[in-house]
Amino acid sequence: MNIACRICGSQRTAHWFDSPDHVTGEVFGLWRCEDCGFGFTWPQPRSLDRYYADFYRDYDRASAGLLQRLQQRRARRWVRALGHTGRCLDIGCGDGWILTEIRRQGWRVVGLERTVESARFAREVQRLPVIVGPLEAMRDDARFDLIVLHQALEHLPDPMDTLQHCGRLLRPGGRLVVAVPNLDSWQARWARGHWLHLDVPRHLGHFSPASLRRALERAGLSWESARYVSWEYDPVGWVDSALNKLGFPMNALLRIIQHDPRLRPGSVVGVAALMLAAVLILPATLLAILSWATRRGAIMEVQAYRPR
């Protein structure tokens, strides 16, 4: 059986390895295109609702505060590099921390979310304008100076379609920021089916720098730069992937941090996972820093622009 690549259309795709979902225990295949290197989850469930646990992104106050500050610092870096103000669209804006920071820098902003429920915090607490629905819900004549796809593109069933739509919504010279896990990272290569950031089936598409560049170019966008620094996702990716390889319940550390009721921090497994994590976090951080310096980090943040 051959499944066409969603990025380059090639029929030369093949099963690579399997990976279990930590929510349901179901196993999914990781397929790869031999022409462009794009990876994809197969089969792709018709609806992903049951694969999102209630505790998804349910962090405690300290972890949430840290994530929030890192995201805001990142957003400040993006807009300051542009050196002007304008209009920004954040696709999959979540709680809206990136958008509130961009708004604070003098920009006009709008977010896009999948459901009314997932848009509630950004709308009601952050007072952000958030459109609920697919990207097609955006007016065709809307034009943006900055579009953000932060940890969002990998969740979408048709990433090529999304990027092409972004290309149309950008003003000439406008920027697109895409942050996704890096399938070509040391971490992904080492952990394979045990990799924390594979996160099947919630992640449907898995990019390498080469396949993302190809996708951006097909969408009429020009690759500008890539950055691999991710304090919040990279070291924890090494630790949890190592625990997965050692036979702990899948993604144990992340699930403890996110309050998965099936994995209590006080249980025998929970205590063992936390003790090992405490030992591993320093070498994991050093390894992460080394991988950023060699451009093989677990998360890549790519900037592209629409040519004038």
- Tell whether residue 215 is a contact of Zn ion (CB under 5 A): no
Cα–Cα distances (Å) from 17 to 38, 43, 58, 283, 297, in that order, read: 14, 13, 30, 27, 21
Among 1, 3, 4, 7, binds Zn ion (CB under 5 A): 7
Q: How far is the CB of 188 from Zn ion (least distance, A)?
A: 17
Tokens of 78: 């993006």
**Site for Zn ion, residues 36 to 75, rule: CB under 5 A:** 36, 38
- Which of 40, 107 has the CB closer to Zn ion? 40
> Dihedrals φ, ψ of 278, to 5°?
-65, -35
Region of 1-9, 226-234, 247-255, 259-267 interacting with Zn ion (CB under 5 A): 1-9
- Which of 40, 144 has the CB closer to Zn ion? 40
Q: Which three-class secondary structure state does DSSP give residue 66?
A: helix
Rounded to whole angstroms, the Cα distance separating 131 from 225 reads 29
Q: Which contiguous run of DSSP H or E holds residue 178?
A: strand 170-181
- Tell whether residue 5 is a contact of Zn ion (CB under 5 A): yes
Q: Rg of the chain over CA atoms, in angstroms?
A: 19
- Tell whether residue 183 is a contact of Zn ion (CB under 5 A): no
- Which of 28, 31 has the CB closer to Zn ion? 31
Q: How far is the CB of 14 from Zn ion (least distance, A)?
A: 11
Rounded to whole angstroms, the Cα distance separating 306 from 95 reads 27
Relative to beta strand 27-33, strand 39-42 is: antiparallel
Site string for Zn ion, 218-247 (x = CB under 5 A): ------------------------------
Rounded to whole angstroms, the Cα distance separating 252 from 268 reads 12
Among 10, 44, 118, 126, binds Zn ion (CB under 5 A): 10
- Which of 4, 66 has the CB closer to Zn ion? 4
Q: How far is the CB of 303 from Zn ion (least distance, A)?
A: 22
Q: In the Cβ-directed half-sphere of 304, how many Cα atoms lie within 13 Å?
A: 27
How many residues are listed for the chain in this entry? 308
Strand order in the sheet with 27-33: 13-20, 27-33, 39-42, 205-206
- Which of 35, 232 has the CB closer to Zn ion? 35
- Which of 38, 78 has the CB closer to Zn ion? 38
Among 3, 16, 29, 35, binds Zn ion (CB under 5 A): 35
Q: How far is the CB of 185 from Zn ion (least distance, A)?
A: 19
> Dihedrals φ, ψ of 247, to 5°?
100, 10
Q: How far is the CB of 8 from Zn ion (least distance, A)?
A: 3
Rounded to whole angstroms, the Cα distance separating 213 from 210 reads 5
Region of 2-10, 76-84, 146-154, 292-300 interacting with Zn ion (CB under 5 A): 2-10
Q: How far is the CB of 222 from Zn ion (least distance, A)?
A: 20
Tokens of 308: 């004038």
Cβ neighbours around 224 below 10 Å, total? 13
Cα angle 150, 61, 68; round to 5 = 25
Task: Give the interface size with Zn ion as a residue count (CB under 5 A).
Answer: 8
Among 33, 93, 196, 219, binds Zn ion (CB under 5 A): 33
Contact residues toward Zn ion (CB under 5 A) are 5, 7-8, 10, 33, 35-36, 38
